[in-house]
Each structure stands twice: as structure tokens, then as C-alpha cells.
């Protein structure tokens, strides 16, 4: 868990303490897993990322990632083997609800 990251807010710099949690949920025979990243500020969930990855040619490759990156609402990015991405928006109203769905 990391602390002490800064972020820009309202045109200036505000220093806030963010807690980063990340872990991996192993799936069948360790050839597939879900990578989870959570960012909390004062105990409140600020950002989530859930990424399904599979082992191909001894390398972990992302298949689909759900997050709210780049100021967009919660969405999934399907990542094709050629590297192209397809966005899929998910109707989940809060980050807490998103975290519950992917537990």
C-alpha cells in the first residue's frame, strides 16, 4: 500500500493521502487471473480497476479491463490479440457497487 501521492484539483495542487490496494485473484490452474487495483482516500473508494488476464506464450496478456480511467464512467475495454480495444460502458452507478460486482 502506498501513501502520500499528490493530485491536481481545481487548478492547484492539493496533497492528499491515497491508499493503493492491489491483488490478484487466481483462477483455473494459474493460467488465468484477475488483477484488482483499488484507490481509497480517507477510506472512501476513489478508483477501481479489474483486469482479466491470461497466460499466452509465457506472458500475461490483458483480455478485458474494467475501470473509470480518463474521466470516463465505469466501462470495460476489450483488448483484442492485435492490440485494438473495444469500449463497453457498464451501467453501474457507484464505485462501491462496481467493487461488489467484481468480488
Q: Give the residue extent of every domain in the chain.
A: 18-101
pLDDT for position 42: 83
Q: CB pairs under 8 A, 24+ apart, for 16-19? A: 16/41, 17/41, 17/42, 18/46
The values of phi and psi at residue 68, to 5°, are -130, 40
pTM: 0.72
Bridge partners (DSSP) of residue 54 are 32, 61
Bridge partners (DSSP) of residue 67 are 49, 75
Q: What is the pLDDT of residues 30-83, one digit of tens each?
A: 799 999 998 888 888 888 899 999 998 899 999 999 988 777 778 889 999 888
Amino acid at each position: 500500500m502506498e501513501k502520500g501521492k499528490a493530485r491536481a484539483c481545481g487548478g492547484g495542487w492539493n496533497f492528499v493521502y491515497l491508499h493503493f490496494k492491489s491483488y490478484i485473484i487466481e483462477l483455473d490452474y494459474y493460467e488465468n487471473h484477475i488483477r484488482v487495483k483499488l484507490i481509497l482516500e480517507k477510506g472512501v473508494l476513489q478508483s477501481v480497476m479489474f483486469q482479466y488476464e491470461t497466460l499466452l506464450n509465457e506472458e500475461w496478456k490483458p483480455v478485458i479491463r474494467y475501470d473509470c480511467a480518463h474521466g470516463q464512467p465505469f466501462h470495460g475495454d476489450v483488448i483484442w490479440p492485435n492490440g485494438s480495444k473495444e469500449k463497453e460502458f457498464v451501467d453501474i452507478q457507484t464505485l462501491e457497487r462496481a467493487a461488489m460486482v467484481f468480488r
